Amino acid sequence: MEKNVYVPMEERTGKISVVYFTRDLSPEGLKKVYEKVNGKITGKVGIKLHTGEPKGPNIIPRPWVKELLATEPELKDAVIVETNTYYDGDRYYTEDHRKTLEINGWTFCPVDIMDEEGTVLLPIAGGKWMKEMSHGSHMTNYDSLVVLTHFKGHMMGGFGGSNKNIGIGCADGRIGKKWIHTYEGSDDMWSIAMDELMERITESTKATIDFFGENICYVNVLRNMSVSCDCEGVAAAPVVTPNVGIVASLDILAADQASIDLVYAMKEEDHHDLVERIETRHGLRQLSYMKEMGMGNDRYVLIDLDNDEAEITAADGVAHVVPFVQVPRP
């Protein structure tokens, strides 16, 4: 079976998960979908999101996250969790990373740079390329993880969903990310690409989700979907894909698959650039490998929270999208 092609829903097999959807791109919309998947979020909670390069224009708006933490009881003491980058820049060293966090306004709650004091190894069950992943050592301090993801394109991964957010984002900046991106002995730090990169990202993710077990949920925000990752900051390619909404699930594969389905269900002129980025980088291999690794289901029911929890298709979800208009960064 070809592993980097888009498989329509009717051709998929296996069990069925639930994905919740709202078109409401606002703090209220975020809270609405989150509250459908937060039942097992307890104890010390980490919020894994991409806090962005300095003044990055497309990251999830800070006021949305601030309101979520302020109004959800189990998140009142939650901590945003991040790791340092593999590439040299404004988030490579912890001190610089903290300056970037301040520039971007992530000052309303604690932010834990999980690898600032070292690393921890966690097993990868069934890994083909790796048997363990090196994470920021603080990750094991948390009981639950909310994976709050800005869904967008990615220069190497094709797309960045929940899988990329934790597969790259929980790996520490010196060891784990190197295992994902660089062949041993290579002078090219980005020497691993295409299918193998997707598989290594996914294996890294599996170590994280196995650690948290039932105490993890996934929320993808389909807004400001540049073909570029938030790692590119102000240099990101201009957004041309319409905004869609927010999806949430307890199944990481279903969350990312639904996000992809919503993009593919758009008109050709609306999704062309993002689909091209996804397919030329073999990004769809993230989905097929998650399924092979037993990480979730690519079949799901899509529940429309804007219309009495009706079951809808991805095409219904994007039927009324409008051309993208850049809103000034809050």
pLDDT of res. 2 = 64
Do residues 309 and 36 touch, judged by C-beta distance below 8 A? no
pLDDT of res. 329 = 63
Domains delineated in the chain: 21-317 (3.40.50.11440)
Do residues 174 and 136 touch, judged by C-beta distance below 8 A? no
Which residue blocks in the chain are alpha helix, DSSP H? 27-34, 62-71, 94-103, 162-167, 176-181, 194-212, 252-264, 268-280, 285-292, 314-317
pLDDT of res. 302 = 98
Do residues 97 and 90 touch, judged by C-beta distance below 8 A? yes
**Rounded distance, CA 48 to CA 162, Å?**
9
At residue 186 the predicted structure's pLDDT band, cuts being 50, 70 and 90, is very high
pLDDT of res. 76 = 97
| pLDDT above 90: percentage of residues in the chain | 93
Residues 6+ apart with CB under 8 A from 316: 302, 304
Average pLDDT over residues 122-133: 98
CB atoms within 10 A of CB 232: 18
pLDDT in tens, 79-118: 999 999 999 999 999 999 999 999 999 999 999 999 999 9
3-state helix, strand, coil in the chain (%, to 5): 35, 20, 45
Average pLDDT over residues 67-77: 98
Residue 171 is classified by DSSP as B
Do residues 149 and 50 touch, judged by C-beta distance below 8 A? yes
pTM: 0.97
pLDDT in tens, 283-317: 999 999 999 999 999 999 999 999 999 999 999 99
Angle between helices 285-292 and 194-212 (to 10 degrees): 50
Three-state secondary structure along 28-83? HHHHHHHCCCCCCCCCCEEEECCCCCCCCCCCCCHHHHHHHHHHCHHHCCCEEEEC
pLDDT of res. 291 = 98
**Rounded distance, CA 151 to CA 198, Å?**
16
Q: Is residue 327 predicted with pLDDT exceeding 60?
A: yes
